[in-house]
């Protein structure tokens, strides 16, 4: 119990589950993904004009990947956000498992997209790349929204004393 106690803040909430941290990271992820989506939706890119240099796109996708790796690791670690959700919402285990599985899918998809950047010199390759990227950004937004919903649900259960002990 000593280790568990060390992870608690003054109000007794385990640090790794502190909602402001997770929420702030979700905001950063949304912002970075939206900036990347805007770059890919630029009229030049869609019309077959100049694309941003490969290294710029790779660097932006790499930044998103890095942010997600750290964010997902924080959510998944022992006494982290997901273990908090599992304890507070045992009836939502399937939804929590699905969210966890998606983490790996997003990281793999970003790696695949980075690998496909080299193909963008050929304008006919761009629509498919754009669709894949937009699907990824939409899935990420929905994913974080579902996490937000579960966080609010768990907070509501704890406030009303209905959370699992």
Interface positions with Fe ion (CB under 5 A): 147
CB distance 100 to 82 below 8 Å = yes
Smallest distance from the beta carbon of 22 to Fe ion, in angstroms?
6
User: Closer to Fe ion at the Cβ: 6 or 108?
Assistant: 108
Which of residues 114 and 147 has its CB atom nearest to Fe ion in the complex? 147
Q: How far is the CB of 87 from Fe ion (least distance, A)?
A: 17
Q: By C-beta, is 61 or 147 nearer to Fe ion? A: 147
Return the residue nearest Fe ion (CB atom): 147
* Lookup: tokens for 33: 């993904």
Whichever of 14 and 147 has its CB closer to Fe ion, that residue is: 147
Rounded distance between C-alpha atoms, residue 81 and residue 158, angstroms: 15
3-state secondary structure of 105: helix
Residues in the chain: 165
How many angstroms from the chain centroid is the CA of residue 135?
13
Q: H or E stretch including 147?
A: helix 126-160
Query: Alpha-carbon distance 97 to 137, whole Å?
Result: 20
At its nearest, how many Å lie between Fe ion and the CB of residue 66? 15
Q: Smallest distance from the beta carbon of 104 to Fe ion, in angstroms?
A: 13
Q: What share of the chain is helix, strand, coil (3-state, %, to 5)?
A: 80, 0, 15
Cα–Cα distance for residue pair 138/145, rounded to 1 Å? 11
Q: How far is the CB of 121 from Fe ion (least distance, A)?
A: 34
The nearer residue to Fe ion, 69 or 131, going by C-beta atoms, is 69
């Amino acid at each position: 119990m000593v280790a568990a106690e060390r992870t608690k803040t003054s109000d007794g909430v385990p640090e790794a589950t502190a909602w402001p941290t997770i929420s702030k990271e979700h905001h950063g992820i949304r912002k970075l993904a939206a900036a990347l989506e805007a770059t890919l939706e630029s009229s030049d890119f869609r019309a077959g004009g100049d694309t941003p240099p490969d290294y710029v796109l790779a660097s932006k996708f790499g930044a998103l990947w890095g942010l997600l790796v750290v964010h997902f690791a924080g959510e998944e670690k022992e006494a982290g956000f997901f273990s908090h959700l599992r304890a507070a919402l045992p009836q939502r285990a399937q939804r929590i498992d699905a969210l966890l599985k998606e983490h790996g899918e997003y990281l793999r998809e970003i790696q695949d997209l980075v690998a496909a950047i080299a193909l963008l010199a050929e304008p006919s390759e761009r629509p498919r790349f754009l669709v894949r990227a937009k699907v990824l950004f939409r899935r990420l937004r929905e994913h974080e929204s579902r996490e937000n919903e579960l966080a609010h649900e768990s907070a509501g259960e704890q406030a009303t004393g209905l959370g699992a002990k």
